[in-house]
């Protein structure tokens, strides 16, 4: 893939990260029969976005998706003037914030040289 096209595709990677962050922030508190289904689905969606962007675009793609995800989640975790927030300071909220951030960091930093022959 030419470098100019790869650089252009970083913007959709960031948009995918924003989408995963917004969707996951609204879904993560869902619990069915004591199982945190929403949190599992939200983390799986975010992991899929990070890994896909990393495999297609290399570290810049994964970093763009991670930055988009982080911006969206931090905006939704901050208190609005009315006092509302989407990601509360609960166990599920902290797992979503810290677990997603750790997952994003691992996807950016992990060497994929074994999976890709070109070492991106």
Describe the chain by its helix, strand, coil percentages, rounded to 5.
70, 0, 30
Mean pLDDT confidence for 71-82: 89
pLDDT of 86-113, one tens digit each? 888 889 889 999 999 999 999 999 876 6
Question: What are 11-35's pLDDT values in tens digits?
Answer: 999 999 999 999 999 999 899 998 9
Closest by CA to 117, choosing from 60, 58, 66, 65, is 58
What predicted TM-score, i.e. pTM, was given to this entire model?
0.86
- The set of residues, in sequence order, having a beta carbon less than 8 Å from that of 92 and lying 6+ positions away, is 28, 29, 31, 36, 38, 39
């Amino acid at each position: 893939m030419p470098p100019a096209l790869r650089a252009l595709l970083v913007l959709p990677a960031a948009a995918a990260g924003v989408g995963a962050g917004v969707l996951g922030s609204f879904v993560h508190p869902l619990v069915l029969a004591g199982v945190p289904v929403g949190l599992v689905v939200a983390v799986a969606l975010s992991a899929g976005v990070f890994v896909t962007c990393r495999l297609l675009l290399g570290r810049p793609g994964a970093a763009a998706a991670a930055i988009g995800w982080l911006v969206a989640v931090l905006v939704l975790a901050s208190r609005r003037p009315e006092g509302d927030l989407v990601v509360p300071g609960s166990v599920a909220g902290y797992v979503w914030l810290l677990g997603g951030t750790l997952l994003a960091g691992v996807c950016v930093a992990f060497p994929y040289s074994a999976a890709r022959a070109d070492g991106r």
